C-alpha cells in the first residue's frame, strides 16, 4: 500500500483546542471525494502533548492509503480541481501549510499484520508511538532505507559498538515502517516515519520511558542525523 502522510502544525493564531476540533474534520473530508479517487482507508492522529516531549513539531497527522501509484495519481489530480482545492482549504484554515509537510511512502508492516487487520476492521481509536527521522549525511535514500529496515526492532545506543534489542514490553502490537517513495527532484522533509501500536496508555508509556533511558534524546548517528518521537491517538475515519 502507498500512504500519503500529512503532518500538521497549527497556525499561530489557532489555539490547541480549536485545532483539535477542526483537524479531524479536515482529514475526514477526504472520505467524501468521488469513489474512483477516494483513499482506500483514512485515519487521523492528534498528538498527545504530555507524552511527546519538548521537541513536538506537529499537533496532528492525517494518513490516507492508496492501492497503487495510479490510485494516488487520480487522487492527486482531483486535488487540483475546484472541489479538491476546497477540501485543501479546509485544512489550511487551521494548519500552517509551510510547516506541514506531506510524505508519500510505501508501507511496510514488519510485525503484527494480523493485529492491524483486526484494528482496521474494528475501527475506533488506538494509541501509537511514532518516530520521524532525517537520514545521516553520506547515505542515499536507498542506502538509508535498506539500513533502517535491517535495524527493525533494535537500536544503537550512543557510542555503542553493538545494537540493543527492544524488549517485548516496549514493542507494541504492531510495527510499521513507511519508506518515502523515490523522487525525480528535490527531497522529502523526512526520510523515515514509523508507527508502533498500543491498546493502553500504560504500555505506550513503557515504550516512551525505555527509549528515553536508552537513547537519551540522541540520534543513532550511523543511521540518522536527526530524529524525534511522537505519541499520538489515532482514529479510523474510513476503514
Length of the chain: 239
Tens digits of per-residue pLDDT, 51-78?
A: 866 567 899 999 999 999 999 999 999 9
pLDDT at position 29, please? 95
Tens digits of per-residue pLDDT, 195-227?
A: 999 999 999 999 999 988 887 656 677 888 888
pLDDT at position 191, please? 96
Is the pLDDT at 36 greater than 90? The verdict is yes
Averaged confidence pLDDT in the chain: 92
Q: What's the average model confidence in pLDDT over 136-162?
A: 86
pLDDT at position 142, please? 94
Number of Cβ within a 10 Å radius of residue 163: 15
Q: Report pTM.
A: 0.92
The pLDDT confidence band at residue 151, using thresholds 50, 70 and 90, is confident
**For the chain, percent of residues with pLDDT exceeding 90:** 79
* Domains parsed from the chain with CATH numbers: 2-238 (3.30.70.100)
pLDDT at position 53, please? 64
Amino acid at each position: 500500500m502507498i500512504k500519503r502522510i500529512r503532518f500538521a502544525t497549527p497556525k499561530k493564531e489557532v489555539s490547541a483546542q480549536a485545532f483539535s476540533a477542526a483537524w479531524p474534520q479536515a482529514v475526514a473530508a477526504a472520505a467524501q471525494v468521488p469513489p474512483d479517487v477516494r483513499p482506500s482507508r483514512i485515519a487521523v492522529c492528534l498528538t498527545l502533548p504530555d507524552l511527546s516531549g519538548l521537541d513536538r513539531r506537529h499537533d496532528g497527522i492525517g494518513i490516507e492509503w492508496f492501492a497503487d501509484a495510479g490510485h494516488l495519481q487520480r487522487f492527486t489530480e482531483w486535488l487540483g480541481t475546484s472541489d479538491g482545492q476546497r477540501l485543501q482549504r479546509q485544512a489550511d484554515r487551521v494548519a500552517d501549510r509551510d510547516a506541514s509537510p506531506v510524505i508519500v511512502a510505501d508501507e511496510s508492516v514488519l510485525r503484527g499484520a494480523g493485529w492491524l487487520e483486526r484494528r482496521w476492521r474494528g475501527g475506533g481509536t488506538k494509541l501509537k508511538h511514532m518516530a520521524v527521522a532525517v537520514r545521516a549525511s553520506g547515505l542515499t535514500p536507498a542506502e538509508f532505507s535498506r539500513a533502517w529496515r535491517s535495524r527493525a526492532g533494535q537500536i544503537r545506543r550512543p557510542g555503542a559498538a553493538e545494537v540493543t534489542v527492544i524488549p517485548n514490553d516496549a514493542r507494541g502490537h504492531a510495527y510499521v515502517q513507511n519508506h518515502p517513495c523515490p523522487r525525480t527532484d528535490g527531497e522529502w522533509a523526512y526520510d523515515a516515519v514509523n508507527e508502533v501500536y498500543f491498546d493502553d496508555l500504560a504500555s505506550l508509556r513503557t515504550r516512551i520511558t525505555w527509549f528515553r533511558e536508552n537513547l537519551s534524546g540522541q540520534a543513532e548517528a550511523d543511521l540518522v542525523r536527526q530524529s524525534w518521537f511522537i505519541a499520538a491517538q489515532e482514529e479510523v475515519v474510513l476503514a
